[in-house]
Amino acid sequence: MPKARKPLLPKPQQLLLVEGKNDQHVIWALCEQYNLPETFSVETPGKGIDAILESLKLRIKQSDLQTLGIVVDADQDLLARWQAIRNRLVESGYQTIPEKPSPGGGVYTQPEKPKICIWLMPDNQLPGMLEDFVAYLIPSDDRLRPKAEAIVQEIEQLKLNRYTPIHHPKALIHTWLAWQETPGMPMGQAITAQVLSYNAEIANKFVEWLKRLFELANASE
């Protein structure tokens, strides 16, 4: 299991808000694999997107907060999720937030306010969630993935699944993880153990976003 990062808490503070513990552990694991310095904290204000939205105004008002990153699932409607966050930021005085997300995760600034950046899982362009992002980390030549996809699809076609359709990605990645040498390994731990490929293209893009947001140029060199 990746260790919890204990940030140096520089003044002003740098903070990354995420929806839940799985997001925390996946990001901690990526930071560890890419040797990112512990200059920012990864926190969850509660469970899910609502807790993040409700906490934004207070977070932005923190006098010592310099940089605020937000990582949430796009879910089924990426633009609706973007607008929900954008509306809260506009209400807090940010005037340069675009109508649509940037593929690389734009960085937005406003005088006398924290620098803001948003990443919608999996890649700022597609609907989906953390588990879709993690599924991209399965090695391209893996022979178990097609089997996992087939069994999940079969269960759904027979209407034996007890999960809702939106949670198909969760069923897929956890089915695949259940068939590894250590069955049921958590996603973050699987990245640390390199069962999942941390240097996949989507992971590189996400880490580059973190480096740009928190000004960590050349951190992994």
Is residue 202 pLDDT above 90, yes or no?
yes
CA distance 68 to 166: 28
For 13-129+198-213, give the CATH class.
alpha beta
In this prediction, residues 9-13 reach a mean pLDDT of: 56
Residue 1's pLDDT band, with cuts at 50, 70 and 90, is: low
Q: Residues of the chain with pLDDT > 70: what percent?
A: 92
CB 118 within 8 A of CB 70: yes
In this prediction, residues 200-214 reach a mean pLDDT of: 94
In this prediction, residues 190-206 reach a mean pLDDT of: 95
Least trusted range by pLDDT, from 50-54, 91-95, 131-135, 212-216: 212-216
Looking at residue 128, what DSSP letter applies?
A: B
Each residue's pLDDT tens digit, 47-65: 889 999 999 998 998 878 9
Q: What are the Cα distances from residue 144, in Å, to 111, 126, 173, 177?
A: 51, 24, 11, 10
Is residue 221 pLDDT above 50, yes or no?
no
Cβ burial 102-132 (10 Å sphere, 16+ → b, else e): eebbbbbebeebbbbbbbbbbbbeebbbbbb
Is residue 73 pLDDT above 50, yes or no?
yes
In the chain, the N- to C-terminal Cα span, in Å, equals 24
Is residue 116 pLDDT above 50, yes or no?
yes
Distance of CA 114 to the CA centre of its chain: 20
pLDDT attached to residue 151: 97
CB 177 within 8 A of CB 138: no
> Where do the domains of the chain lie?
13-129+198-213, 139-186
Each residue's pLDDT tens digit, 125-179: 999 999 999 999 999 999 999 999 999 999 999 999 999 999 999 999 999 999 9
